[in-house]
Structure formats: C-alpha cells, structure tokens
A and B are shown apart, each in its own frame.
Chain A
C-alpha cells in the first residue's frame, strides 16, 4: 500500500467453545471482544470503531446498535457490511480505510452465534421465499449444499476433477485439526474415509461439508499511531480486495467465483503475487469452495486445482501451500455459519508464530480469503494479504 499509512491487526481472539447451550449470543460477542482487546493489550475505552455482520438469529440490520449497546461502546465509526462468511474479511479492509481516513484509531470486529445449540441444520433444509431471486431458486429446494454440489459436478465435468481430489482437502484439514485441542473433529481422516462417507448432495459427501458450531471471534485493527504505543507483535494489512459474484442474468459459470476479482485487487494493493504467499487461510464451507478459491486466487491455473491439492500440498508445515492449520471450518469451527472470522485469526496466529507447533509454518506473508452466500448463485468474496513484523 505505497504512499499510504499502515494499519495493523493488533489483537485476535477465537472463542474456545463449539457448543454454548448456556450462553447468550450477546455474551459470546462480549467474551470475544474482551479477548481480542486484551490480546492487543488495550482497554475497552480505546475502541473507537465497531464492525459486525450481524447477529444471525436476530436477522437485524440494526445489529451494530444492539451489540455496541450491550458492550457499552462509544464509537465514531460503525459498519455492518454483510455478505455472509466473507463479511469479516471485508471488515478488516473497511477498518483499514476508515483508519487511513482519520475516522478512527482502534476498530473492533466481532462475530458470534449459536446455530448448534439452536439445533439448526444449515445448508440442507427448505427455506422461506423472501426475495425475487428466491422465487426462482428456493422454490426448487436450492440450498447451499445442492448449489455447491452443482458447482462441484460442473467442475468435475469441465476439468476432470475427482471426488478423491476434493477429499484431499478434508484430509489435509483433519491432519491439522488433530493438533487443535478445541477442534470439533480431531480425528484425522483419509481420502477413502471422505469418499466412503454418505453422499449428501452429489457429488458432495458428508465429509466434504463443514461443521455446524457455536462460537465466535474478534479482531482488533489499529492505526500506526496506536500500534506504536503497544508492546504486542502486530500483523500489517498489506492489501484487501472484495467483489460480489452473481447469476450474470443467466450466464452463470459454476466453476468460477468472485475470488478472481477480490484476490487480484488484494495482491495488486499489496504489490505481491500468489507465489509470495507462505500460508493461506481459505474459506471452506465445502471442499469445492477451497478448490475453486485456490484456482481463482491464482495459486494454479483454472482447472488445475484438483492436481494442485494432491499429495499433501495443503498440509503444514511442509506442503506447497499450507492452509487452514486450525482445522478450518471442515474440522474445527464454523461459528454462526460464517467462517471468515476464523480465517483471519489463524492467519494472524501463523504470522505471529502462535499456532499449534506441529503445524506452525515459517510464514512472513499470509492470505485470508472468504466466500459468503453461495457460489451456485450470488456470493461475496473478500481477500486480505497480511505481513508479519519480521518479514
């Protein structure tokens, strides 16, 4: 970001719970906020900007008011950009812009939710018809899983991608999850385990799908000036990009996502290329979500994702592109059905050398990428490129 002041991630916190029957969602918001502020070595009253994509169970556009009131925050800047799981990565970019504009110095981003405790079976149930688009999609029973299933089937048709290649993604994530004491599923699984698991929406199997968990997370983004007062090792936000992908009036291409645009914008702003990246956090609602993102972010040519992920390429610490070293949404955590938050948190842990030692990568430059909505139709994409202090 040449010629512009820098902004840094000074604090992160991931809630350790995966099931919170005895807590309120607002309590989780408060606990992760306290965690991230404490991680940075700051106090609540230092926070002067607040970002959230909402409280999913309330479905309220007023969520910044609800949460800021609950936390007792007095802020000069607030934002509730919501495109699903990519929102929190986009918030990092928006916070950087607000800081550069002099609107704020210390921006807090929080996510919390309790879909597991509320018995929500996401992605596989009939939904209400609410928008014009729903009348042409949801009436057919189009859910996240059938839409991602259609994307996987088309990718296989065009490029020869196999179920075993998709399964490599889950196998690598589960390899990492065994070292994460908080992960929902800590047992390593093989490619065979994945392809032998029940087909949920063909060609996707049960183990191609992410977990449903309670929990949350928080990020604190600070200005150069605020950082200079901190003892904490900080991570610089080098580039950010976002994009909205859509149905293209009937010309949808199920093998391509808006990561093509968000990734390019983030790399251009950072002045870097995919080959510079040492570690990647990639949103993993389903294995196909990761495969298409790897291609669209430019880690390989379009259509070569299946070959790229073979032979442990995604496994830390020695793979070609170590990814999701916390176990990701596939194995560890998918708080409130929105995985973008934990993608940023694990990238920061990698750059600060604070993740589980068995999967710690010698990383100076990392990427976090989120996909929100459905790649089968409307979706958001947001990407950040992050740099460690010693790079």
Chain B
C-alpha cells in the first residue's frame, strides 16, 4: 500500500528502533528505569525525571479509544484514505498515542477496545501503527 502523498515519518537515530519494530509487527513504548514512567513518543531522556536510563518495552498492542475526530475532506490527502479518523488510543500500558482508526466511523466510539495493525512504508524498514476495533 502506498502512502504517497501521505506523509511518512522522519526516521532519526532516536526513533529508528520504534519504526523498524513496527515493520516487524511490534508496537514499542519507552519505560524509565528510574521512575517507572511508561511514555510515548520515544525520547532518550525520561520526560518526567530526566534519567538517561530508559528502555524499550513491547506492548500487547491493545487499548481503548480516548477520543477521535473524522475528517471527510482533507486537502492533500489521498481520496481513497477518506474519511480519515484521527484518534488518541489509550494503550493498556498507559500512554495515549495519536493514530488513525482504520475502520468506518460508525464502528467506534470513545471507549471502544482496539488493537494495532501495521501499514508498511514502501522502501523503508518502517511501518505505521494504526488501530482497528478489537474482536472479542
């Protein structure tokens, strides 16, 4: 699936592992070894205690919808990817992460259980996590 002209992430040394793990089907978060904060987006220093002792942690890729908004038209966005649902998903591990919900708007509401899917990026060792409603 082509993202073009959808924007693709700027993969930096700090975030390369996150994107390559996504290409392998894993959603990672960061965890502080000092204060225990589980956080997102990835940073090399804990944004709470500023410790430089932080680890990658695999998530189970599930959570619930914290909020979302559906755009039916959007300048510069591929028509086949509309309507576009932008959302915050609260992961079971705690952090609220921005994402897309890859489903129809009437399939979700705030609190709907969701699980991660990965959309590959052509020509890069990276994939973009999106979420779909979780089946029981």
A interface residue numbers (CB < 8 A to B) = 121, 124-130, 132-143, 145-154, 157, 199-204, 247, 249-252, 254, 377
Contact = CB atoms under 8 A, between A and B. Distances in A.
Interface residues of B, number: 48
A359 B105 CA distance: 42
B15 A132 contact: yes
A153 B7 contact: no
A139 B128 contact: yes
Nearest to B12: A132
A145 B68 contact: no
Interface string B76-97: 1100010010111001001111
Nearest to B97: A250
Given A139-B128, A150-B67, A250 B74 contact: no
Contacts, number: 137
B96 A150 contact: no
Interface of B: 5-12, 14-15, 29, 37-41, 43, 47-48, 66-77, 81, 84, 86-88, 91, 94-100, 105, 110, 128, 130
A154 B88 CA distance: 10
Contact of A249 (B12, B40, B81): B40
Nearest to A145: B71
B98 A249 contact: no
B110 A142 contact: no
A79 to B, nearest CB: 27
A152 B48 CA distance: 28
Given A139-B6, A141-B77, A149-B70, 13 more contacts: A125-B76, A129-B8, A130-B10, A139-B8, A141-B100, A143-B86, A146-B71, A148-B69, A150-B87, A157-B110, A201-B86, A250-B40, A250-B94
A249 B98 CA distance: 12
B37 A249 contact: yes
Contacts of A129: 7-10
A151 B84 contact: no
A337 to B, nearest CB: 15
Contacts of A135: 9-12, 15, 41
A139 B9 contact: yes
Given A142-B86, A254-B67, A126 B77 contact: yes
Nearest to A130: B10
Nearest to A156: B110
A147 B74 CA distance: 13
A252 B96 contact: yes
Given A150-B67, A150-B86, A251-B95, A132 B41 contact: yes
B55 to A, nearest CB: 15
B71 A153 contact: no
B70 A201 contact: yes
A203 B67 CA distance: 11
Contacts of B77: 125-126, 141
Contacts of B71: 124, 141, 143, 145-146, 149, 200-201
A147 B110 contact: no
Contacts of B74: 124-126, 141, 143
Contacts of A137: 98
Nearest to B29: A250
Nearest to A151: B67
A25 B5 CA distance: 30
11 contacts: A124-B74, A126-B5, A136-B40, A137-B98, A139-B9, A143-B86, A150-B68, A150-B86, A151-B67, A157-B67, A250-B40
Contacts of A201: 69-71, 86
B22 to A, nearest CB: 11
A154 B98 contact: no
Nearest to A254: B67
